[in-house]
Structure 1
Amino acid sequence: MSLHSILENFAHPATLFFFLGMIAVFVKSDLEIPPQIAKFLSIYLLFDIGIKGGEELFHSGFNGQVLLVIVVCVLGSFLIPFGMYYILKRKLSVHDAGAVAATYGSISAVTFATGTAFLESQGEPFGGYMVAGMALMESPAIIAGLILIRMNSKSEESTTNKAGFNHILREAFFNGSVLLLIGSLLIGYIAGETGEKELKPFVNEIFFGMLSLYMLDMGLLAARRIKELKKAGGFVVSFAVLFPPIIGLFAIVLSFILGYGPGDALLQTILLASASYIAVPAAMRMAVPQANMSILLPMSLGITFTFNISLGIPLYYFLIQLIWA
């Protein structure tokens, strides 16, 4: 694959709409997506991803490959925060380091959706069962972040009490995005061919249009978050930039060793090399009010998300094709 092929990613409508949103902020346009519409688009994407994954599971069944993907995803989302925390702790407080580490242990469903769209445009097959792994990656990251903060906090006042901790654990497993994703996955699996036929127009034909509108909103949000990074310092900016390619390279090698196909390898790489900017920040804001959200969100959304959408996905695919060849 040539550099020209990598740059072709910019010709995809979803990517172009993302940059249109960023341009709108930089030129101080009044363009915006109303919050309720943005929320609907988010719900639709989770619904669509879950249903498609359930349909694929219906056709493939719960085989060894599915179980392998689930194990890798769950372990990755739990262990990555532990490795990242001790890097972040060099410059950040316990609470900030724990919250950011949890964010980078989790995933970006929109980056995953963009990755599937990229693979479809390349004609590269992939397993819908990858959604099963994605659906289980939010909760372990949140739990890992809370464990790290509790282990390293000297002041009892700086951590949640037992009742609060139990509440956060419940949120980790049953927050809206996780519940919708897992629920849609199960419905797609149970409904089988009947559901696939009945939902086909809503799940397939309009997906790219809805994704493009959502990416426009993401571009608006990312550009605003990038502006906030001026206050964050060079360390967190460097971390947010270097995390995706370093973890991405590790994920590519791991996928090769485990015998993934190229399409599944790209999606596994995206899952491990992305960061949450919805579910985990919301949980951390509730559980750890001391954490500085003005650091966390610009890192995950302003830099890491932008990197993966614009350069990461085609770069990972380029490396996968070289290695698999």
Structure 2
Amino acid sequence: MGGKVEFLSDFLTKFGAQLQSPTLGFLIGGMVIAALGSKLEIPDAIYKFIVFMLLIKVGLSGGIAIRNSNIVEMLLPALFAVVTGMLIVFIGRYTLAKLPGIRTVDALATAGLFGAVSGSTLAAGITVLEAQEIYYEPWAGALYPFMDIPALVTAIVVASIYTSKKRATEDKDLSKQENLSKQPVAAGEYASKPEYPTTRQEYRSQQRITASGYPRKQAKRVKIWPIVKESLEGSALSALLLGLALGLLTQPESVYEDFYNLLFRGLLSILMLVMGMEAWSRIGELRKVAQWYALYALVAPLLHGFIAFGLGMIAHYATGFSPGGVALLAVIAASSSDISGPPTLRAGIPSANPSAYIGASTAVGTPVAIAVGIPLFIGLAEVLIGN
């Protein structure tokens, strides 16, 4: 009993210390001034520049680390990142999509966005780890695309399959209704259109016609590469991959230490302020959709983070994956994409409601992942694994 009390006390102490970090303070400060009606604005160009700088830094550090480390060490964490991204989508498919008032395509888009990764949340997690002097593998930031791309691809593929099946069912029901409504031809009269084809060409033509007389819509095959290509071309992932390539193929240590590393925390504080203000402004969007999205956005980041944390623990015992690396994998899973994910899903699942998945992610999911998920998983890693 005493051990459990000591564990809980130690965890709460470390969790409270994480909440006092300047990174989370700027996020909460942004939400507070927005709630008070402040007119403070950060130009969008500055916001995009800050995100670019932060992700370039994360990519550079990851590339340098990969160049100087054993690639085999990355394999299991990378595999777990892929599994987590795909699993998150299926969890949403069989939980959120089953709730009343939730359209399946909206649920899949939401789950895809929550399975994808937020570059700013990743940067925030790394900053807190460094501020607490908790070791993590520098290549851990490179796990980003291993979770991000599989989640988006899975969501779009599953949504396409669902839509195709639904369309086929609707066509079948329409055909039955049309057959029931047909009137019998009176004696001595002939239908103006022959019921049976007389040539092979006519037969093929009739096969493409629905009972309502309109051409049958052929189900489109889902092409994976365009989805992956669009994800790779997204601004966040492009910046991260560029940094990885430069860190891996060049010798950027001097510019990294003298420029990117020095500016990292200051730029991140501004980013957190912006995200806090935006999160508050997005809360109103949730009123346009079912309240289940708010509940999902509260619970999902922590659930996804715990799944990744458990897999990270397996990697820790199997390969020596560090406590910081385990925590960072959980933080990545808890995050939801705020830059590259939304445009990819708009193109891949056009029938989904953007207010549903973007509102749930930005207004609730991101603040939960940063304000609760980061201190929670770092504190848990420190207590369970230690430095």
| TM-score (normalised: structure 1) | 0.91
Which residue does 1:185 correspond to in 2?
A: 244
Q: Measured at CA, do residues 318 and 13 of structure 1 come closer, stay the same or move farther in structure 2, by a change above 3 Å?
A: closer
Q: Name the CA distance, whole Å, in 1 between partners of 2:147 and 2:249.
A: 22
**Fraction of identical pairs, as percent:** 29
User: Residues 122-175 of structure 1, C-alpha deviation per residue, up to 9 Å, x if partnerless?
Assistant: 111100111221133222111101111111112389999559876444213333
Question: Structure 1 residue aligned with 2:307, among 250, 258, 269?
Answer: 250
Report the CA distance between 1:4 and its aligned residue: 4.1
> Could you tell me how far 1:300 is from its partner in structure 2?
1.2
Q: Is the 8 A contact 1:165 1:287 kept in 2?
A: no
Of 230, 253, 259, the residue aligned with 1:171 is 230
Shift of 1:87: 1.2
Which of the two has greater helix per residue? 1
Give the 3-state SS of the residue equivalent to 1:172 in structure 2.
helix
CA distance in 1, matches of 2:139, 2:246: 14
Query: What is the CA-CA distance between 1:210 and the residue it aligns to?
Result: 0.5
2:378 matched residue in structure 1: 317
Moved more, 104-113 or 150-159: 150-159
CA drift at 1:320:
2.0
User: What's the secondary structure of 1:278's corresponding residue?
Assistant: coil
Mark the CA change 1:152 to 1:7 in structure 2 (over 3 Å): closer, same or farther.
Answer: same
- State which of 265, 290, 298 in structure 2 corresponds to 1:241: 298
Q: Corresponding residue for 1:146?
A: 156
Question: 1:79, 1:161 → 2: CA distance?
Answer: 24
- Please tell me whether residue 11 in structure 1 is matched to residue 72 in structure 2: no
Query: In terms of mean alpha carbon deviation, does 289-298 or 47-56 score higher?
Result: 289-298
Q: Output the CA distance in 2 between the equivalents of 1:69 and 1:159.
A: 40
**2:338 corresponds to which residue?**
277
Q: CA deviation at 1:45?
A: 1.3
Counterpart in 1 of 2:254? 197
Change (3 A) 1:321 1:14: closer
* Residue 26 of structure 1 pairs with residue 43 of structure 2: no
- Going from structure 1 to structure 2, the CA distance change for 1:73 and 1:2 (only over 3 Å counts) comes to closer
Could you tell me which of 346, 352, 376 is aligned with 1:291? 352
How far off is 1:27 after superposition? 1.0
When normalised by structure 2's length, the TM-score is 0.77
Cα displacement (A) at 1:83: 2.3
> Does the Cα contact within 8 Å between 2:157 and 2:222 map onto a contact in 1?
no
The structure with the largest alpha-carbon Rg is 2
Confirm whether residue 67 of structure 1 aligns to residue 75 of structure 2: yes
Larger deviation, residues 149-158 vs 261-270: 149-158
Give the counterpart of 1:97 among 107, 110, 115.
Answer: 107
What amino acid sits opposite 1:180 in the alignment? A
- Deviation, 1:298, is 2.1
Q: Secondary structure at the match of 2:68?
A: helix
- RMSD (Å), alpha carbons: 2.3
| Partners of 2:273 and 2:160 in 1: CA distance | 38
2:181 equivalent in structure 1: none
Q: Give 1:258-273 correspondences, 5 Å limit.
A: 258-259=315-316, 260-273=321-334
| 3-state DSSP of counterpart to 1:129 | helix
Kindly indicate whether the alpha-carbon contact (under 8 Å) linking 2:18 and 2:379 is maintained by their aligned counterparts in 1.
Answer: no
Q: Quote the residue 1:155 is aligned against.
A: 167
Give matches, 1:81-160, under 5 Å: 81-91=89-99, 92-153=102-163, 154-155=166-167
State how far apart, in whole Å, the 1-side matches of 2:50 and 2:370 are. Answer: 18
Unaligned runs of 5+ in 2: 1-9, 169-215
Aligned length: 322
Residues 28 and 223 of structure 1: CA distance in aligned 2, closer, same or farther (over 3 Å): same
- Structure 1: gaps spanning 5 or more residues: none
Given that 2:84 and 2:308 are in contact with CA atoms closer than 8 Å, whether structure 1 keeps it comes out as no
Q: Which amino acid in the other structure matches residue 189 of structure 1?
A: L
Counterpart residue number, 1:37: 46
**1:209 equivalent in structure 2:** 266
Shift of 1:35: 0.9
Change (3 A) 1:120 1:85: same
SS in 1 for 2:374: helix
Q: Distance in 1 between matches of 2:225 and 2:126?
A: 35
- Alpha-carbon deviation of 1:249? 2.2
Secondary structure of the structure 2 residue equivalent to 1:89: helix
